[in-house]
Structure 1
Amino acid sequence: MDKNQLIINTYKQMKSKIFAVTLAVFTASCNQAKQTDSTVTKTQIITENNQQANEGYELMKTNCYVCHNPKAASHDDLIAPPFKAVKTQYANAYNTKTDFVNAIVNWVQNPVEEKALMRGAVNKFKVMPKLPLPKQNLEKIAAYIYENDVEEPVWLQVQMKEMQGKGMGKKTGKMDKN
């Protein structure tokens, strides 16, 4: 083998090694970028969910607690049922988030006695007034109620047990399966 042939062979070997190293570095950097993108995406989703929950809670507090006040001293001090009772009734009737949210939104947009899910509440408090809130806000409130533990008056558990004794609360829905 002459000297030129040796140089050419050495050059080809070096070229192959450089290519292999470059390919390995490139592949590793792509994988790192994918992991970073995935982490950022998960973080963004968690942040967005927290923001939506906070927004739903604030909308509920501002627009609904006037009547559905969880701080009422007793059941007799209420002008509407507490949201814990609302959540329990609707969760018993609707097993998916979509159905739950749609049912709440439909009721608030068009509350008529014939469509009432909570007959006892309608008998005690009458039908709630129709609220002029945008549908998007109602959906945020209903989603918040579905996804979170809502404030519960201290006396509510005793009241609910009394209602079960009268045939209400059959323990068949999502809330009772947790």
Structure 2
Amino acid sequence: MLRNLIIFIFCLFYLTSCGDTGKSSKEVSKPLNASISEINKEGLFLLKKHCYICHSPISDSHDSILAPPMAAVKMRYQRRYKNKEDFIEGMVKWSVDPKKEEGIMRGAIDRFGPMPKQDFKSEDLFKIARYIYENELEEPEWFAAHAQEMHGQQ
């Protein structure tokens, strides 16, 4: 009986302490500052987990990227969609079913092709798009010069 209790306690301890980083998801997704809402905390966590794999803010040059940096995506979507709701809806719609003919980033689509279809939860996409709309994003060092050269913007 004592042996079973010890095994049970050990298993309980093991199950509650397992994880990739040793931290709970709430600890991993802590905001950069306390003013970021709970949804924005989740949006940042999801952005880093799912989007920055291809849309990395860290790259040596425009020639070494797999997809446009998210700062470029945000810039283009802001030019197309003038309010928050349309911006979020446009990003989510594209992310759910990225079709070449419906893409708004013509240069990126010509260079990289349309984004591969992903299996994202729609609520996660809304959190990511909201975070992107409401916050400044990290940019590669070369991005400002590229944006100025290609689009006349910084």
TM-score (norm 1): 0.65
- In 2, distance between residues paired with 1:110 and 1:56? 20
- Give unmatched runs, 5+ long, in structure 2: 1-33
Structure 2 residue corresponding to 1:123, chosen from 89, 100, 110: 110
Residue identity in the other structure for 1:147: E
Structure 1 spans left out of the alignment, 5+ residues: 1-46, 170-175
Which residue is 1:133 aligned to? 120
Alignment equivalent of 1:98, drawn from 85, 101, 112: 85
Identity over aligned residues, as a percent?
A: 42
Q: CA RMSD in A?
A: 1.7
Render the CA deviation track for 1:76-95: whole Å, top value 9, x for unaligned.
Answer: 11111011111110001101
Q: Distance in 2 between matches of 1:135 and 1:116?
A: 19
The CA distance in 1 between the partners of 2:121 and 2:86, in whole Å, is: 19
Select which of 141, 147, 150 maps to 1:163: 150
Partners of 2:123 and 2:99 in 1: CA distance: 21
Alpha-carbon distance in structure 2 between the residues aligned to 1:163 and 1:49? 32
Task: Provide the residue aligned with 1:144 in structure 2.
Answer: 131
The structure with the greater share of residues assigned to helix is 1
What do the CA deviations read for 1:52-88 (whole angstroms, capped 9, x no partner)?
Answer: 1111000000001110010111111111101111111
Corresponding residue for residue 66 of structure 1 = 53
Higher Cα Rg, which structure: 1
Change over 3 Å in CA distance of 1:119–1:102 after alignment to 2: same
Runs of 4 or more above 4 Å deviation: none
Q: Which residue identity is paired with 2:99?
A: V
How many residues are paired up?
Answer: 121
User: 2:72 matched to which residue of 1?
Assistant: 85
Provide the rounded CA distance (Å) in 2 between the counterparts of 1:120 and 1:93.
15
